[in-house]
């Protein structure tokens, strides 16, 4: 994950905004593409954060199982 702390709830909210905006409006193609690109970036960041959290949990469980 990047140096900045990811605000998971804020990023999910932004992703919801993007979906709502794209699905509720007839946007120009370039604007739709920018929003799509932003959404993909957010999804990748969230997936990475979830993967890192999962690895931490697995380590904790492994320690507790010993």
Backbone angles phi, psi at 28, to 5 degrees: -60, 150
* pLDDT category of residue 45 using cuts at 50, 70 and 90: very high
Q: Is residue 1's pLDDT more than 60?
A: no
How many CB atoms are located within 10 Å of the residue 45 CB?
16
Predicted confidence (pLDDT) per residue in 8-23, tens digit: 999 999 999 999 999 9
């Amino acid at each position: 994950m990047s140096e900045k702390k990811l605000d998971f709830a804020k990023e999910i909210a932004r992703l919801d905004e993007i979906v709502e905006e794209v699905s509720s409006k007839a946007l120009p193609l370039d604007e739709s593409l920018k929003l799509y690109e932003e959404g993909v970036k957010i999804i990748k960041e969230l997936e990475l954060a979830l993967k890192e959290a999962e690895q931490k949990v697995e380590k904790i469980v492994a320690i507790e199982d010993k």
